[in-house]
Amino acid sequence: MSTARDRGAAPAAEPLAGFAVGVTAARRHEELATLLERRGARVVLAPAIRLAPLADDAALLAATRACAAGPLDHVVVTTGIGFRAWLESAGGDGTRDALVARLAEAAIVARGPKARGAVRSAGLRERWSPESEGSAEIVEHLLRQDLDGARVAVQLYGERQAELTAALRGAGAEVIEVPVYRWARAEDPTPLRRLVGQAVAGTVDAITFTSAPAVAETLAVAAGDGLEDALLDALRAHVVAACVGPVTARALTVRGVPTVQPERARLGALVRALVTGLPQRRSRRLSVRGCALELRGHAVVLDGLLRPIAPTPMAVLRALARRPGHVVSRAELCGVLPSRLGGGAAGGEARPRADEHAVEMAVARLRRGLGRPGIVETVVKRGYRLACDPRVTGRLPAGEPIG
């Protein structure tokens, strides 16, 4: 039989229960969202980009005919969807059979598993595939070949691959660029702007990225709202950036943002990496009055029951958990209350610094959310403390941030 103190709580059986995860993917976002929700996450959908057809397919048709007209020495296939679209376009133009014959004679380089799958589905076989899925490794591989006078086709993915094609041309190759589609901004940028604001406010715990253009567009949207530096600070400190691979992560890595990456560039593997990495960054376990208390992103687990906690009282709880068993003054707690609520397009309007009455109200809400008396103690004229022994739990383990 449930008691009053356990109403609104639920068993915390799933590893991502209590965490909010942003999804910026354009393609397969529903699949990724479902995988995350099955593990308990609250998903915030915010597509950053979309695939758009070329405004004029004359360049694609010309490139296809050039490939079909003569022998190809090397072919670089960068994406599965792009390769399939290329063959489909060739079918409509009547050049598919000739193109496939040329591809069968060439040394095909497939950039990753999706590209390999598309090549094999067409009855072809790749000659080589880079472990890193990066353009730099492809360039190194091709430059080890004799490219003087060689014909090399490069299937583009949304944008020109200037470094790749310039290096090949510099080695004497004739490069045929095959533009299949282009990346474009999401038609409605509001969800992405809202996600940026929530990340800055600390009301989402992780953001997933499945392509480099999605990272670039997220940073561009943040910059447009004057929040790029704040977003990067959040990603360095308390929001986990989960990237499907090193190519996707590169723009964040060079900015000093740590990322979680799977061993294989698969959505399922990305979710498994997040299941491991997110709790390490955004959870904290304490023993308080004999109860097992775990702080998660926007909830706590108290003796196995998940209890959602609103952002303002959660900010108080995190501040108390940084110094468990020690008194934290009302003045200090004023400084940790969220100044942005994360609900508007750019995270909400800033409000004045909180006063001590706001702290008292937040503590009251926290106690109601926890549903158990005595977890948060009032120390008269001094502040508040978590009711645990500071000699046992008064120090955060290294590398386990919770703020």
pLDDT per position as a tens digit, 267-303: 899 999 999 999 888 888 888 888 889 999 889 998 8
**For residue 9, what pLDDT band results from cuts at 50, 70 and 90?**
low
Beta 74-77 vs 107-110: how paired, if at all? parallel
The more confident residue out of 55 and 220 is: 220
Confidence check: pLDDT of 388 > 90? no
- 268's CB contacts (< 8 A; 6+ apart) are 35
The whole-angstrom separation of Cα 202 and Cα 281 is 13
User: For the chain, what percent of residues have pLDDT higher than 90?
Assistant: 62
Q: Which pair of tokens denotes residue 369?
A: 């959310």
The rounded distance, in Å, linking the Cα atoms of 15 and 299 is 13
| Comma-separated ranges of CATH 1.10.10.10 domains in the chain | 283-393
Q: Give the separation between CA 364 and CA 81, rounded to whole angstroms.
A: 53
Q: By the 8 A CB rule, do 225 and 196 touch?
A: yes
Per-residue model confidence (pLDDT) at position 5: 41
Average pLDDT over residues 66-79: 95
Q: How far is the CA of 282 from the CAs of 259, 275, 336, in angstroms?
A: 14, 11, 17
Residue 354 has pLDDT above 70, yes or no: no
> Could you tell me whether strands 49-52 and 182-185 are parallel, antiparallel, or unpaired per DSSP bridges?
antiparallel
Angle at 142 between CA 136 and CA 146, to 5 degrees: 150
For residue range 25-52, what is the model confidence (pLDDT) as tens digits? 987 889 999 999 999 999 999 999 987 7
Alpha carbon distance 264, 28 (integer Å): 17
Whole-number Å distance between alpha carbons of 99 and 399:
54
CATH 1.10.10.10 matches 283-393: yes
Per DSSP, the residues of 234-297 read HHHHTSEEEESSHHHHHHHHTTT--EE--SSS-HHHHHHHHHHHHHHHH-EEEEETTEEEEE-S
Note the pLDDT of residue 399: 35
| Helical (H) or strand (E) element with 239 | none
Instruction: Tell me the CATH class for 16-51+186-281.
Output: alpha beta
pLDDT value of residue 391 = 54
Task: Look up tokens 């959908």; give the residue.
Answer: 45
Query: What is the architecture of the domain spanning 54-180?
Result: 3-Layer(aba) Sandwich (3.40)
Delimiting residues of CATH 3.40.50.10090 domain(s) in the chain:
16-51+186-281, 54-180
